[in-house]
Amino acid sequence: MPILGSIIKSAIELGSKLPVENYRKRSPIKLQENTLLKMLKKAQNTAFGEQYGFEEIIREKDPITAFKKKVPLFDYNSIHKNWWYRTLNGESYVCWPGKVNYFALSSGTSEAASKYLPITDDMLKAIKKTSTRQIFSLARYNFPREFYQKGILMLGGSTHLEFNGTYYEGDLSGITASNIPFWFQHFYKPGKRISRERNWTTKLDEIVANAGNWDIGVIVGVPAWLQILMERIIKEYNLNTIHDIWPNLSIYVHGGVSFTPYLKSFEKLLAHPITYIETYLASEGFLAYQTRPNTNAMQLVLDNGLFFEFVPFTEDNFDVDNNLKPNAKAITIDEVEEGIDYALLITSVAGAYRYLIGDTIRFQSKELSEIIITGRTKHFLSICGEHLSQENMNRAVEMMSQQLNVSIPEFCVAGIKYDSMFAHQWYIGSDDPINIDQARKLIDDNLKLLNDDYRVERLHAVRDVFVKVLPVEVFYDYMRRCGKEGGQNKFTRVLKNTKLTHWTDYLKSIGK
């Protein structure tokens, strides 16, 4: 039995008990109150802290209520316009003590072409701490000791960050990979040299060329790009499955996008089942991770640099364009209910305060503080009251994939004007033969089963459903042309406004 594997597994088994005991002994709201107080005390002498009276809030008997009363709600546009632009200009002590040296570039939203999100030293420490906890949680999966000697392939952005005079910018995956602890470098693949490569195609070429030199046990990354990588490796080495070259591959750690549409095509590349572990590592912080097997839910990180609030995703709190209303009601962890969609607000050690990150979540277990991600606030489709969530869309496509026995790793949908009313236009990405009429009927029928609002509106305002089947490569080529290839970039599921125009113009340009 390998000595290194034995030592690591023993350390993991011991460490796994620590955060669990912390959660068992203290209530979630108490953990959150203590976390908020630590952040407010540290940030009280910043410009933001002085503006909103952090010194007074921390002396209150009920600091959470005082915080919610004094500090307004922010989305990216409002907090950037009023505060974060100053940190981009190199100013210190704006929203968090010290100078911000890193900014994570998001993959872009309808609010802005690209978001610059501050990554402070304290945020990097918090991410490392939560990452260690996630490693400790592997003790519950009963992997053999030999497994803990295997390599971990992390397919992310370049660690060669762009310096803009006052700060470094890049993907969060690139920022965190450039700050990995020394003890992890023995396991980390593709290694420092390849990780610094900025050109995505060159990076994939290098990984493919070196794949035979590594004994990989864990892969980490966005499903679409990992699937492309594994397909290339299988083709290059004339293999049947990825396990022919990496026989010890046992875990896939994913997050940021629903894995459901990719599962069928992903498993075609494997010789035997592997363990899927979901994480919630956003550009705004490491928010949650799956702590135990036999669940698809993730446990919120309640005691490490993040304070959460939850806004019921309803018309009372959001306008017709799914923008947060100024008087929206935000509740805390002790007030949530299972089975309800909430938009997520965070306050963090990166200098975000009551900040709408754009994701919607649902509690699977209030007792364990476990959630699932149900979509994006901007990725809900409701042009006439049909209220389709991204979860509805993912499930409808998954059902159709099973009904037709085809693989559908990519898709998107748009609401369009049709006669005097509306219609839905679906774009399905698949390399399998699909009958369009069948696909149209199945998507429609599946959504009627999944969503009562949709079923009602199909009788009235949503007059028709259209489907166009495209090769999967069309979706990835579009992302390349938009400069969104690789790393943490995902294809938008709901197309609106300029994104829809750009997409349809692209399809016309390639004759689709």
**Alpha-carbon gap, residue 305 to 128, rounded angstroms:** 12
Quick one: pLDDT at residue 43? 97
Pick out the chain residues at pLDDT < 70: 1-25, 107-113, 177-185, 256, 486-488
- CA separation (Å) from 500 to 48, 260, 358, 389, 478? 37, 24, 19, 18, 12
Closest CA to 154 of 245, 252, 248: 252
Quick one: pLDDT at residue 183? 58
In CATH, the number for domain 380-509 is: 3.30.300
The backbone region for 486, taken as left when phi is positive above 0, alpha when psi lies in -120 to 50, beta otherwise, is: left
Quick one: pLDDT at residue 108? 46
User: DSSP assignment, residue 259?
Assistant: S
Kindly report the pTM of this predicted structure.
0.80
Quick one: pLDDT at residue 46? 97
Q: Are strands 355-365 and 370-376 parallel, antiparallel or unpaired?
A: antiparallel
Q: Would you state the structure tokens that stand for residue 450, as one six-digit string?
A: 């999944």
Neighbours of 144 (CB within 10 A): 12
Residue 374 burial (CB < 10 Å; 0-12/13-18/19+)? buried
Q: Would you state the structure tokens that stand for residue 298, as one six-digit string?
A: 């993730």
Quick one: pLDDT at residue 1? 36
Quick one: pLDDT at residue 94? 97
**Alpha-carbon gap, residue 508 to 512, rounded angstroms:** 6
Which residues lie across from 298 on neighbouring strands?
A: 371
Whether residue 105 contacts residue 258, with contact meaning beta carbons closer than 8 Å, is answered with: no
Quick one: pLDDT at residue 271? 95
- 1-378: CATH superfamily: ANL, N-terminal domain (3.40.50.12780)
C-alpha gyration radius of the chain: 23
Q: Which residues make up the CATH 3.40.50.12780 domain(s) of the chain? A: 1-378
Quick one: pLDDT at residue 142? 76
Quick one: pLDDT at residue 4? 39
User: DSSP assignment, residue 72?
Assistant: P
- Total number of residues shown for the chain: 512
Place of tokens 């100024």: 326
Q: Which residues make up the CATH 3.30.300 domain(s) of the chain? A: 380-509
